[in-house]
Amino acid sequence: MAESFGKNTDKFNYLRQAAEEKLTVSDKELISVKKNKPYDIKSLLHEINVLQSALEIQTDELNRVQGELTGVYRNIVNFYENAPLGYISVDVNGMIKTVNNFVLTLFQAEKFEITGQPITSYIFTEDIENYTESLRKNYLTGNSQNCEVKLISSRHNIIHARLTISGVNEEFGEHSDYKIIIEDISPQKNSEKKLADYRENVDDIIKEKTKELERINRFLEQEKNYAERLSRMKTIFLANISHELRTPLVGILGYSEIMMNELKDDEYVKMARRIQSSGTRLLETLNMILDFAKTETEKITLNIESVNTSEIVEDVTDLFRLMAEKKGLVIKVKGTGKPLYADIDERLFRQIINNLVNNAVKYTNSGSVEINLKKENDLLYLSVKDTGIGIMNNRLDNIFEEFGQVSEAYNKEYIGSGLGLTLVKRYTSLMKGEIKVSSEYGKGTEFTVILPVKAENISYISGSRKSSKKKSTGKILIVEDDELNYSLLKSFIEDSFEVSVATNFENALDMAKQNVYNLILLDINLGTDETGIDVLREIRDMKGYNRVPAIAVTAYSLKGDKENFIRSGMNDYISKPFTKKELIRKINKLLGNKA
């Protein structure tokens, strides 16, 4: 109080001083009068003047302060009206009392339309509870509260808003008006919604795509089943074709071979030889197409066993000697002087040599064909080198492609299916090997097949392969219903073995009971319900026959046949048409005769 009093006293003194300074000359005269007569009227007048002047100063001061205040007030109102937030004051009954411009814009309404209205009429019904709950909390705690609500404008637009509610403590700590700050969060909400929609969309897209994939999968599955069905039909078709074409070829090749040996007249021998070579060519083409179709339609199962590769190379090469001789070519074979055993698939190996030597002889007009077999560090090398027409460098890549014939480009002198090298390459890769070719156009070509073989299974066995030419002995029963076939079989083996023929199931069992056979050759299809497999089952049950070796003789030669026959008890399998040599080799192998 003392301080405040002191301050007031100072202020008064200051005012008085300022007022006195303001006094006019006449006032100053009054002062001089006052000095002489202290209680006269003049001095009182002076006093009044001083006070009046002080009042004027105060009024000026007040006006100045008021001016300043008005400026501040205008600024505040300006801020308030144009703030980027809405301000609403609501009375205790929830009626809107004042709003700023932001609210007017937000609600798309005029001030008079809004004021006096219940605030809840602008809040979405479902959000009113949320709003009143915040009011209640504010009332109870005195702290400002936030809530999110949807507001609805006069033009029925929806506004997402965050409200900050605070009660105004006007008198004695009681809530009277509420101040509500409105923040428009529609853009944020909209982008959240867009995001949610997008997420939902993405989910929908994923669902749609998944369905699409499932549809495609179902379609592919159907296509796969269809393709498998087709492939099965193709295989059955191949089996039938193979049977149909090979059976007559057995007769053609077999009897022409006999005729070639038996006929005395050179002219007829020549004719028989032509029948042979035409039949052989037909057979080769048929085999090639069948083999190619097999590699296309099914997985080839390897039948790896230890075989004498020297003998196979010699065997196959022998087939081409005549053809080479006729063209004046020399065939040289190196590295086959001793047996060379290796674990490989014999059928595929034979096909490889066959195709390579066949090509070498076919595409060589003079000079030689040299076949070389060797083993080095677990690798078996087979090379076929010729002095033939050669292959242009830019065509070297084509020759392994199916139906890829470089010779087409030269002339029609060389006939072929264009499948030989395709098969050679496929068979080589099946045995995990590789094939190389080097060629000089016009000079010659060399193909080299390299096959990995297990070291421990490759060995040189002493003795000459000529020993296989030794006459073999043994009693053989042929079970075959077709006269042409059994006559041919008989004629092939009767020089070396004692042969009997049974033409049906009963006949075969009777003969087996009455004699002792060392080996049985069984046709599978005997033209009755019983097959060669049934015959074998019965015979094996007979005393002394439980281990008798049996060879299935059949025209069918598709994948899995051999396995099926072996599973049914056969020891081996030979597919028609076959050569005499091939048949005798198989029989000797099973009888334990030296091969």
Query: Are 290 and 242 in contact, with CB atoms under 8 Å apart?
Result: yes
CB of 222 to ligand ADP, least distance (A): 36
Determine which residue in the list 307, 329, 357, 406 makes contact with ligand ADP, applying CB under 6 A. 406
Q: Are 182 and 170 in contact (CB under 8 A)?
A: no
- What residues pair up with 257 in beta bridges, in sequence order? none
Does 339 sit near ligand ADP (CB under 6 A)?
A: no
Of positions 86, 388, 549, 577, contacts ligand ADP by CB under 6 A:
388
> For ligand ADP, which stretch binds (CB under 6 A), given 237-245, 271-279, 402-410, 525-533?
402-410
> Is the separation of the CB atoms in 451 and 435 below 8 Å?
no
Query: Does 418 participate in binding ligand ADP (rule CB under 6 A)?
Result: yes
Q: Pick from 99, 109, 419, 519: which binds ligand ADP (CB under 6 A)?
A: 419
Sheet with strand 572-575: strands edge to edge: 498-502, 475-479, 519-523, 550-554, 572-575
The whole-angstrom separation of Cα 508 and Cα 538 is: 10
CB 444, min distance to ligand ADP, A: 7
Query: Whole-number minimum distance, CB 513 to ligand ADP, in Å?
Result: 52
Round to whole Å and give the CA distance between 61 and 559. 120
Rule CB under 6 A: choose which of 49, 145, 256, 445 binds ligand ADP.
445
**Binding of ligand ADP by 387 (CB under 6 A):** no
Among the listed ranges 163-171, 173-181, 420-428, 493-501, the one in contact with ligand ADP (CB under 6 A) is: 420-428
Out of 280, 405, 554, 575, the only residue in the binding site for ligand ADP (CB under 6 A) is 405
Residue 312's contacts (CB-CB under 8 Å, 6 or more residues apart) are 346, 349, 350, 353
At residue 498, the 3 state secondary structure works out as: strand
Q: Pick from 287, 422, 557, 593: which binds ligand ADP (CB under 6 A)? A: 422
The smaller minimum CB distance to ligand ADP, of residues 103 and 435, is found at: 435
| Contact stretch for ligand ADP (CB under 6 A) within 80-88, 168-176, 411-419, 521-529 | 411-419
Is position 53 an interface residue for ligand ADP (rule: CB under 6 A)?
Answer: no
Handedness of CA 382, 388, 389, 392 (dihedral sign): positive
Return the H-helix or E-strand segment holding 333.
strand 330-334
Q: Smaller CB distance to ligand ADP: residue 144 or 417? A: 417
In 441-542, where do the E strands start and end?
444-452, 475-479, 498-502, 519-523
Total residues at interface with ligand ADP (CB under 6 A): 22
Residue 291 lies near ligand ADP (rule: CB under 6 A): no
Supply the minimum distance, in Å, between the C-beta of residue 527 and ligand ADP.
37
The CB density around residue 269, as the number of other CB atoms within 10 Å, is 15
Cα 250-252-256 angle, rounded to 5 deg = 115
Find the part of the chain contacting ligand ADP (CB under 6 A) among 18-26, 79-87, 105-113, 387-395.
387-395
C-beta separation of 488 from 254 below 8 A: yes
CB of 334 to ligand ADP, least distance (A): 18
* Amino acid at the residue 508: A
Q: Which of 50, 333, 360, 535 binds ligand ADP (CB under 6 A)?
A: 360
Which residues are within 8 A (CB) of 359 and not within 5 positions of it... i.e. 6 or more apart?
A: 384, 416, 420, 421, 447
Q: Whose CA is closest to 511, among 549, 553, 539? A: 539
The binder of ligand ADP chosen from 359, 428, 485, 500 (CB under 6 A): 359
Contact (Cβ atoms closer than 8 angstroms) between residue 254 and residue 577: yes
Regarding 420 and contact with ligand ADP (CB under 6 A), the answer is: yes
* Residue 416 in contact with ligand ADP, rule: CB under 6 A: yes
Q: Examine residue 329 and tell whether it contacts ligand ADP (CB under 6 A).
A: no
Q: What distance lies between CA 281 and its chain's CA centroid?
A: 44
Q: Site residues (CB under 6 A) for ligand ADP?
A: 355, 359-360, 363, 386, 388-391, 399, 404-407, 416-422, 445
